[in-house]
Amino acid sequence: MAEQFLILRNPGAAPLSELPILPFDEFRSQALAAIIGRKARVVAFFAYAHGAAQRLLLILASDQEGKLLLSSSEIEGAFESFTPSSAQFHWFEREIYEQHGIMPKGHPWLKPIRFDSPGSNADEPGVCEYFRLAGEAAHEVAVGPVHAGVIEPGHFRFQCVGEQVYFLEISLGYQHRGIEKMLRQGPDKKSLHLMETCCGDSSCAYSGAYAHLLESLQEDLCPTERTQVMRMIAWELERLANHTGDMGALANDVAFRPTMAYCGRIRGEFLNMTAELCGNRFGRGLIRPGGMGYDINDAIVAKLLPWLQASGKELRNALELLFSRAGVLDRFENTGTVDSKTAANIGMVGIAARASAQKQDLRSYHPYGWYRENPYEAAWAESGDVYARALIRYEEIKKSLAMLEPALKKLPPAEKNAATPPLSLQPKHIAVSMTEAWRGELCLCAITDEQGRFEQFKIVDPSFHNWYALAMALRGEQISNFPLCNKSFNLSYCGHDL
Partner 1 sequence: MLEILKSRLLQGYRAGKFPRRAPVMPERFLGLPLIDNSLCQKDCSACLQTCPAGAIQKESDGGITLDCGKCIFCGKCARACKSGVIKFSRQHDLAAFERKQLLRRDASYSYELQPKPIIRQLCGRSLKIRQVSAGGCGACELDFNVLNTLAWDMARLHIQVVASPRHADCLLVTGPLSKNMLLALKKTYLSMPEPAFVIACGTCPISGGIFAGSEAVCDGIEEVLKPDLYLPGCPPHPASIMEALLRFMGRQMRPMEGDRENKAQKEDKAQEGDKKPEDSLKA
Partner 2 sequence: MSPLIFAILLIIFAALLCLLLSFNERSAGLVVADFSSGQLHLPALIALAGTILGLLAIVPSCAIALFRDTLPGCGEFMRAWFLLPIICVGILSALHSIAYLDKSFSPLRRGVYWFFFNMTVAMMLLVTQAEHPVIFLLAWEGMGLFSFALIMFDYKQKENMHAAWIYFLACQAGGALLMLMFFAGAFPLFVFICGMLGFGLKAGAPILHIWLPGSYQAAPAPASVLLSAGMINLGFLGILRWLVLPDPALAPLLGYSLLICGMPGALLGIFFAMPQKNLKRLLAYSSVENMGLIACGLGFGFLSIHWQRADIALLSFAAAGLHLLGHSLLKGNLFLLTDHVYRASGELNLDKLGGMQKILPGTGYAYTLSAMAISGLPPGNIFMAEILLYVAAARGIASDKLSVVAPSLALFLTLAFCGVLAMTVFSKASAAIFLGEPRSKAARRNLAVPPLMKRCGIAFMVLLLIFLCGSPFLAPRLMHAFVGQYESLYSADLGAELYASALDARRLLGLVLSCVLLVGMLFILLWRVRRKYLPYSTAVPPRRFTWDCGFAQPTARMQYTGTAFVQPLVELFAPLLRPVKKILLPRGLFPKKASYELSCHDGSEQIFWRPLVNFTVRLAIFSHRLQSGHLHLYVLMLISALLALFIWGFAM
Partner 3 sequence: MSMFVWFCGLLLSLLLCPLLSGLICKLKGIFVGCPGPSVWQPYYDIIKLLRKGSVYSQTTTWVLPLAPLISLAAMLCAMLFLPFAFVDSPLAFEGDVIVFFYFLAGARVISVLAAMDTGSSFAGMGASREMQFSSLAELGMFCILAFLVMTTGNFSMSGLLNGAGILIWSYSGTALLLVIIAFFILLLSENCRVPIDDPDTHLELTMIHEAMVLDYGGPDLGIIHYTAALKLWLFTSICSLIIVPAGLFSGFSGLLLFILAQFLLGVLVAIVEGTAARFRFLKVPQFLLAVPGLTIIAIIMLLLFK
**By CB under 8 A, is residue 146 in contact with partner 3?**
no
Shortest separation between residue 293's beta carbon and partner 1, angstroms:
9
**By CB under 8 A, is residue 271 in contact with partner 1?**
yes
Ranges assigned E (strand) in 17-66 = 21-22, 40-50, 53-62
Among 101, 106, 268, 452, binds partner 1 (CB under 8 A): 268
Q: What 3-state DSSP class applies to 139?
A: strand
Q: What 3-state DSSP class applies to 240?
A: helix
Task: Indicate the burial class of 291 (C-beta count within 10 angstroms; 0-12, 13-18, 19 or more).
Answer: buried
Binding flags for partner 1, 354-373, as an x/- string (CB under 8 A) = --------------------
For 123-136, give one letter per residue: b (16+ CB within 10 A) or e.
eebbebeeeeeeee
What is the spatial distance between Cα 163 and Cα 16, in angstroms, rounded to a whole number? 54
With CB cut-offs between 5 and 8 Å by kind, which of partner 3, partner 2, partner 1, none does residue 331 bind? partner 3
Query: Who contacts 320 (Cβ-Cβ below 8 Å, separation ≥6)?
Result: none
Q: Which is nearer to partner 1, 72 or 203 (CB)?
A: 203
292: β partners: 287
Binding flags for partner 3, 232-271, as an x/- string (CB under 8 A) = --------------------xxxxxxx-xxx---------
Count of beta carbons in the 10 Å neighbourhood of residue 324: 9
What is the spatial distance between Cα 127 and Cα 216, in angstroms, rounded to a whole number? 42
DSSP annotation string for 384-421: -SHHHHHHHHHHHHHHHHHHHHHHHHTPPPPPP-PPPP
**By CB under 8 A, is residue 148 in contact with partner 3?**
yes
Among 63, 95, 201, 436, binds partner 1 (CB under 8 A): 201
What is the spatial distance between Cα 445 and Cα 42, in angstroms, rounded to a whole number? 13
> How many binding residues for partner 3 (CB under 8 A)?
31
**By CB under 8 A, is residue 176 in contact with partner 3?**
no
Among 3, 18, 25, 163, binds partner 3 (CB under 8 A): 163
Residues 99-158 that bind partner 2 (CB under 8 A): 108-109, 124-127, 131-147, 153, 155
Q: Are 378 and 367 in contact (CB under 8 A)?
A: no
Q: Which is nearer to partner 2, 88 or 244 (CB)?
A: 88
With CB cut-offs between 5 and 8 Å by kind, which of partner 2, partner 3, partner 1, none does residue 39 bind? none
Mark the segment that binds partner 1 (CB under 8 A) among 33-41, 111-119, 371-379, 432-440.
111-119
Phi, psi of 139 (to 5 degrees): -145, 170
Count of beta carbons in the 10 Å neighbourhood of residue 414: 12
What letter represents residue 365's amino acid? Y
Among 342, 483, 488, 493, binds partner 3 (CB under 8 A): 483
DSSP state of 480: G
> How many binding residues for partner 2 (CB under 8 A)?
43
Query: Who contacts 356 (Cβ-Cβ below 8 Å, separation ≥6)?
Result: 338, 339, 340, 342, 343, 348, 384, 388, 469
Among 306, 375, 413, 422, binds partner 1 (CB under 8 A): 306
Among 280, 374, 420, 478, binds partner 1 (CB under 8 A): 280
**By CB under 8 A, is residue 161 in contact with partner 3?**
no
What is the spatial distance between Cα 275 and Cα 267, in angstroms, rounded to a whole number? 12
Among 15, 37, 149, 162, binds partner 1 (CB under 8 A): 149
Phi, psi of 400 (to 5 degrees): -65, -45
**By CB under 8 A, is residue 311 in contact with partner 1?**
yes
Among 20, 153, 427, 452, binds partner 1 (CB under 8 A): 153
What letter represents residue 393's amino acid? R
What is the spatial distance between Cα 449 and Cα 430, in angstroms, rounded to a whole number? 9
Mark the segment that binds partner 1 (CB under 8 A) among 191-199, 326-334, 399-407, 419-427.
191-199
> How many binding residues for partner 1 (CB under 8 A)?
73
Residues 319-378 that bind partner 2 (CB under 8 A): 342, 345-346
With CB cut-offs between 5 and 8 Å by kind, which of partner 1, partner 3, partner 2, none does residue 307 bind? partner 1
Shortest separation between residue 318's beta carbon and partner 3, angstroms:
10
Q: Which positions touch partner 3 (CB under 8 A)?
A: 139-143, 147-149, 162-163, 252-258, 260-262, 325, 327-328, 330-331, 478-483
Interacting residues toward partner 2 by CB under 8 A: 83, 87, 90, 108-109, 124-127, 131-147, 153, 155, 159-164, 166-167, 342, 345-346, 468, 472, 475-476
